[in-house]
A and B are shown apart, each in its own frame.
Chain A
Amino acid sequence: MLEIENLRIEFETGAQPVPVLDGVSLDIGSGETVCLVGESGSGKTVTALAIARLLPCPPARYAGGRILVNRRDALRMSARELRTIRGRVVSYVFQDPAVALNPVLRAGAQVLETLALHRPEAAHTDEVISLLRWVGIPAPELRIRDYPHQLSGGMQQRLMLAMALASHPRLLVADEPTTALDVTVQAQILELLRALRRQLNMSILLITHNLGLVGEIADRVVVLYAGQIIEEAPARELLSHPRHPYTRALMKSVPELGRDVPRLEAIPGSVPRLGDWPAGCRFHPRCPVARPGCSREAPALASVAPHQRVRCPFWDHAP
């Protein structure tokens, strides 16, 4: 469905281009859900936006690699071709629905607009109402008359989902879709995504900083740190046996319900800033098991098992 090969992206802001993504490769099969996990500045949102070439250029520059959507390279597509994949093949849901929605258009009109563009034969109010009902908006006949500000955060996110799904996309890219929502509403949206995935056989790329979501929905997980993939594994495998020291440290540093620890194991230091990445392994200044060589040699992303890659030569030297 989607193959990203060795993607490199730079931002040209100052005198020198700042690398943001450094050789990211990942693929998503049909009907598969992949979680892209990372902290701020890791490059997860940039990866997501790059898929349909939504990054503004400049300042962004695609410095290398390929993005194959249905075996066609998005980086070589014309503007006209890109329009045929945006929204139709790849749909997006963003973190903050209040910002992503048009505040002066009624809810129904926004969905109708998407339909008119991608499925003109279905662009009528009945279809809008059935879409809204499908994503769990109660009384959709009345809600289509509402403006976004009249809807709650959870309802706005459902509206975003209805718009994204109106075109029956093959791939849904959801960038932190539940971060702005409360946990009980987050549970509702995740439940909805699971149901929709079953019904549509749609692929999902879910971007999050919350490892907890991985166990809820993902088939496979890709962990990003400072513009690089540092670990990739099936979801269950990653949660039960994280290999990279960063993944391990991250899992130990968050408190979990019912797990009684006197003290959290904090990761020292802070996330490296863009363009200020350490030499060698980018995690080495914060790594609990770093060795002298880690600051010199940049480790490669190596296969350690089928479908499992780790960017640390010492992954099996568990502390």
Chain B
Amino acid sequence: MSLLSVRSLSVRFPVLRSWWRARALFVHAVDDVSFELAAGETVGLVGESGCGKTTLGRAVVRLIEPTAGAIEFGGIDLASLRPGQLRPVRRRLQMIFQDPYGSLNPCLTVEQIIGEALDIHGLARTREALRARVGFLLDHVGLAPADARRYPREFSGGQRQRIGIARALAAEPQLIVCDEPVSALDVSVQAQIVNLLHDLQREHGLAYLFIAHDLALIEHLSRRILVMYLGRVVEAGDTKMICRTPAHPYTQALISAVPRLDPVANRRRIVLTGEVPSPITPPSGCGFHPRCPIAEPRCGREVPALREIASGRWAACHLAWGGNRMATTGGVV
């Protein structure tokens, strides 16, 4: 039984609705995405800027209204709920944001920031109870309970991200959507936050939808990943297998582009030509075909479906096979 089940989710934003154009244009930010997430599990969502990963993460929490599709969380379809009905469900569904500077209200003390979540969900009846709970949460994320009276500006980036995590934990969620939670932090501080998220998951049985552009980080944290390109999932499955033998040509290029510390790692680099096309006018057929090193004529005509190419591995590519064939045609590592 999965905790979260997303089916055929699409998010479109209207753009360029000008008077001489009869038809509005749309950005297809998320296009027909389906996946499942079990309780206590981490699913990694990886892709480059503009691929729709943040939009997908926000649509799951319904910070952005999905255009089509269903989001089932604990057996309830979130997409059909009215705002008032959404609140009790949101308690179990929290979010950690990328920017530790922009996501905390600078006029509120840490106690007010974390206490707000407790207030809204009626989790602290008295002022003393609230104070005790905030102190406990701060201690839990590695800050001092005395920090409750201070303001966000008095903290470093890493400490602020801890406050953001404490705020998400306050409502005792089952699932936290983490949108690039460490990419704005100093390199030497990132591991602290990653380890904290790891510990909290073990302690509370939290599930994470972990959004990042850093493949190595995703590989470290999640057992399963979704690779997105131009609003669609192009490859999904077991993290280790995908990182070792990626099946989709885009995943292959992505993995080969990651800079490595190991100078002797002798690998074939695949340098893609061109850039991610506009999601307003996506290419026909497979969205990746204009940049794909192995594209065939039919890739420009037919949209490849996400199909199971081997047990537990999905790829949206006409040419992808399970087993080792792809590893020899475009192998990496």
Contact B262 A215 (CB under 8 A): yes
Query: Contacting chain B: which of A76-84, A166-174, A263-271?
Result: A263-271
Q: Given the complex of chains A and B, what is the CA–CA distance between A286 and B192 in angstroms?
A: 13
Contact B259 A213 (CB under 8 A): yes
Closest B residue to A237 by CB, please name it.
B263
| Given A183-B48, A258-B243, A271-B186: A239 touches B191 (CB 8 Å cut-off) | no
Chain A residues near B214 (CB, 8 Å)? Answer: 255
Contact B192 A268 (CB under 8 A): yes
Chain A residues near B274 (CB, 8 Å)? Answer: 138
Contact B187 A209 (CB under 8 A): yes
Query: Contacting chain A: which of B143-151, B250-258, B296-304?
Result: B250-258
Count residues of A near B (Cβ-Cβ below 8 Å). 48
- Residue of A210, A254, A261 contacting most chain B CB atoms (<10 Å): A254
Contact A212 B186 (CB under 8 A): no
Closest A residue to B291 by CB, please name it.
A184
| Given A215-B263, A270-B158: A253 touches B257 (CB 8 Å cut-off) | no
Interface status of B238 (Cβ within 8 A of chain A): no
Contact A266 B195 (CB under 8 A): yes
- Residue of B158, B192, B333 contacting most chain A CB atoms (<10 Å): B192
Interface status of A249 (Cβ within 8 A of chain B): yes
Interface status of B17 (Cβ within 8 A of chain A): no
Interface status of A15 (Cβ within 8 A of chain B): no
Interface status of B153 (Cβ within 8 A of chain A): no
Q: Given the complex of chains A and B, what is the CA–CA distance between A235 and B260 in angstroms?
A: 13
Contact B195 A187 (CB under 8 A): no
Interface status of B126 (Cβ within 8 A of chain A): no
Interface status of A186 (Cβ within 8 A of chain B): yes
Chain A residues near B190 (CB, 8 Å)? Answer: 253-254
Q: Given the complex of chains A and B, what is the CA–CA distance between A39 and B258 in angstroms?
A: 20
Q: Given the complex of chains A and B, what is the CA–CA distance between A255 and B260 in angstroms?
A: 10
| Given A154-B275, A183-B48, A265-B191: A256 touches B261 (CB 8 Å cut-off) | yes
Contact A239 B261 (CB under 8 A): yes
Chain B residues near A251 (CB, 8 Å)? Answer: 261
Closest A residue to B50 by CB, please name it.
A182
Closest A residue to B215 by CB, please name it.
A257
Q: Given the complex of chains A and B, what is the CA–CA distance between A40 and B275 in angstroms?
A: 29
Chain B residues near A249 (CB, 8 Å)? Answer: 188
**Can you list 17 A-B pairs, Cβ within 8 angstroms, ordered by A?**
A153-B49, A154-B275, A183-B213, A183-B258, A184-B257, A185-B48, A186-B259, A212-B258, A213-B259, A253-B188, A254-B187, A255-B219, A264-B195, A267-B191, A268-B192, A273-B156, A286-B188
Listed in ascending order, the chain A residues whose CB lies under 8 Å from chain B are 39-40, 138, 152-155, 182-188, 191, 209-216, 235-236, 239-240, 246, 249-251, 253-258, 261, 263-268, 270-271, 273, 286
